[in-house]
């Protein structure tokens, strides 16, 4: 049999993938056959999924954005800058229009010069903001991040209103998973008391630590994290603002994307029984 005929017979018996799902099946079969390790498979799946996702799927909603008002004295907003540990902050005027972005490093000269904070003018140091629509595809945004060398964009909705922000890290995490840095909270900070019996909890918190913090007794024989238990209760990967009650606790999703949940707001549910 000639090589050309053999190739045609092989192609007939082993056709190329015709769509994304068939391609993923081939890749998962390769993983099963130990031709791809789990990490590589996950990265490939993430890269394929990014091409189907939009900015709205991963952006940080405005309700969670640390903003600065253009008229604020530095003494008023500096505590928020320090507490957040972020490096970039949208600057808005009293009409809620974005006038620029403040880089935390631009505040450093105030600490080493004689000019002092009294002469500080926010409008003089705020840098131009980059805007992207909620509907922009993530693969397109990632290419713009790379080619135009910027790291954060402000997101606007269909009416042109400021709706949130997105960073290059938000996009890359869809491909490679969570990227921890020196400012990410560890498990000691994974349960934050918001007052009035409400807590902000990281979905990746281990069940044992969640039980210790919340006084619960969730089993960890099936799931390792509280996020695993809650997503199982939903029966699907929930979107932001979806809620579910598990063992007397009401979990509200406050940060999530198509692949995973990041944060819950947790509160105890009052019993309605006498």
pLDDT for res 256: 72
26 in any annotated domain? yes
Are both 122 and 191 inside the same structural domain? no
Number of domains in the chain: 3
Find the CATH number of the domain harbouring 109.
Answer: 3.10.580.10
The conformational region for residue 22 under phi > 0 = left, psi -120 to 50 = alpha, else beta, is: alpha
* Low-confidence spans in the chain with pLDDT less than 50: 1-2, 5-7, 9-13, 182-187, 272-274
The pTM of the whole model exceeds 0.75: no
pLDDT value of residue 211: 92
85 is in which domain, residue-wise? 57-176
Nearby residues of 100 by Cβ (< 8 Å), 6 or more positions away = 91, 123, 126, 127, 128, 129
What pLDDT score was predicted for residue 5?
A: 46
Residues 241 and 256 in one domain: yes
Residue 198 and residue 89 in one domain: no
Q: What is the pLDDT of residue 273?
A: 45
Of 120, 124, 115, the closest CA to residue 77 belongs to 120
> What is the model's pLDDT at position 257?
64
Encode pLDDT of 40-73 as tens digits: 887 888 788 888 888 988 888 888 888 999 888 8
Q: Are residues 172 and 67 in the same domain?
A: yes
**Residue 236: CATH number of its domain:** 3.30.465.10
Give me the torsion for CA of 134, 137, 143, 149, rounded to 10°.
10
pLDDT at 152: 92
DSSP type of residue 126: P
Same domain as 151, residue 89 = yes
Residue 214 maps to a domain: yes
User: Is 260 inside a domain boundary?
Assistant: yes
Tell me: do 46 and 83 sit in the same domain. no
The pLDDT of residue 178 is 62
What does the pLDDT read at residue 113? 58
Count CB-CB contacts under 10 A for residue 212. Answer: 11
Domain contains 181: no
Residue 155, pLDDT score: 94
Q: What was the pLDDT predicted at 81?
A: 84
d(CA 209, CA 270): 23
274 is a domain residue: no
């Amino acid at each position: 049999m000639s090589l050309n005929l053999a190739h045609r017979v092989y192609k007939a018996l082993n056709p190329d993938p015709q769509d994304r799902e068939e391609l993923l099946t081939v890749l998962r079969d390769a993983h099963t056959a130990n031709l791809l390790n789990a990490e590589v498979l996950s990265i490939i799946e993430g890269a394929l999924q990014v091409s189907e996702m939009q900015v709205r799927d991963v952006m940080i909603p405005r309700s969670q954005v640390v903003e600065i008002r253009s008229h604020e004295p530095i003494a008023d907003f500096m505590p928020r800058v320090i507490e957040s540990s972020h490096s970039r902050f949208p600057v808005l005027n009293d009409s809620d229009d974005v006038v620029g972005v403040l880089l935390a490093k631009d505040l450093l000269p105030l600490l080493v010069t004689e000019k002092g904070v009294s002469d500080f003018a926010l409008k003089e140091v705020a840098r131009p903001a980059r805007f992207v629509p909620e509907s922009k595809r993530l693969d397109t945004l990632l290419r713009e991040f790379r080619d135009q060398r910027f790291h954060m964009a402000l997101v606007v909705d269909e009416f042109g209103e400021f709706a949130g922000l997105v960073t290059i890290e938000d996009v890359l995490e869809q491909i490679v998973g969570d990227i921890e840095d020196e400012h990410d909270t560890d498990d000691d900070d994974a349960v934050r008391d918001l007052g009035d019996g409400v807590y902000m909890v990281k979905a990746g918190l281990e069940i044992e630590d969640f039980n210790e913090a919340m006084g619960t007794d969730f089993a960890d024989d099936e799931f390792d994290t509280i996020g695993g238990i809650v997503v199982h209760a939903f029966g699907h990967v929930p979107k932001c603002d979806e809620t579910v009650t598990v063992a007397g606790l009401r979990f509200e999703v406050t940060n999530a994307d198509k692949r995973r949940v990041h944060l819950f707001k947790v509160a105890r549910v009052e019993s309605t029984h006498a």
